[in-house]
Amino acid sequence: MSFRMPVTFALALALVPATAYAAPADSTPFETTVAHDDLDLTTPEGAARLEQRVLTKVRRMCALGGRDGTSLRLERECRATALAATAPAIRLAIANARLDQVRLAQTDGASPAATPGV
Amino acid letter, residue 16: V
Per-residue pLDDT tens over the stretch 91-108? 999 999 999 888 888 886
Per-residue pLDDT tens over the stretch 71-94? 999 999 999 988 998 899 899 999
Assess contact for 36 and 50: CB atoms under 8 A: yes
Query: Whole-structure pTM over 0.85, yes or no?
Result: no
Summarize the confidence of residues 1-25 as an average pLDDT: 40
Degrees to nearest 5, angle at CA 98 with 93 and 99:
95
Amino acid letter, residue 102: V
